[in-house]
């Protein structure tokens, strides 16, 4: 059974993932015309810090896919789009 500390760690890691993804999204949105090469470079810039927040359940897919997922998810939330 998980203790309250373990639950709090999960929340802190999720908040960290969202913070890094928000920073990455903001950087992507600064560019007027975004190419695949530019977006990949920006994602890779944030990847080392983002990887530190990943848990065991995230190991099934590459970290860059998770970062991209979080960026897109936040973009939808900010633009009030349904999931």
Sequential pLDDT tens for the chain (83 residues): 355 555 668 899 999 999 999 999 999 999 888 888 999 999 999 999 999 999 888 999 999 999 999 999 999 999 887 66
Residue 24 neighbours by CB under 8 Å, 6+ apart:
42, 43, 45, 46, 50, 67, 71
Q: List helix spans (H) across the chain.
A: 4-30, 36-51, 63-78
Cβ–Cβ < 8 Å for 56, 50: no
Cβ–Cβ < 8 Å for 28, 39: yes
- Other CB atoms within 10 A of residue 31 CB: 11
Please report the pLDDT score of residue 6 as a whole number: 57
């Amino acid at each position: 059974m998980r203790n309250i500390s373990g639950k709090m760690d999960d929340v802190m890691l999720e908040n960290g993932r969202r913070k890094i993804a928000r920073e990455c999204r903001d950087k992507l949105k600064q560019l007027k015309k975004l190419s695949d090469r530019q977006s990949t470079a920006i994602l890779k810039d944030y990847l080392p810090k983002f990887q530190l927040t990943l848990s065991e359940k995230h190991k099934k897919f590459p970290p860059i896919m998770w970062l991209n997922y979080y960026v897109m998810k936040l973009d939808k939330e900010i633009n009030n789009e349904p999931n």
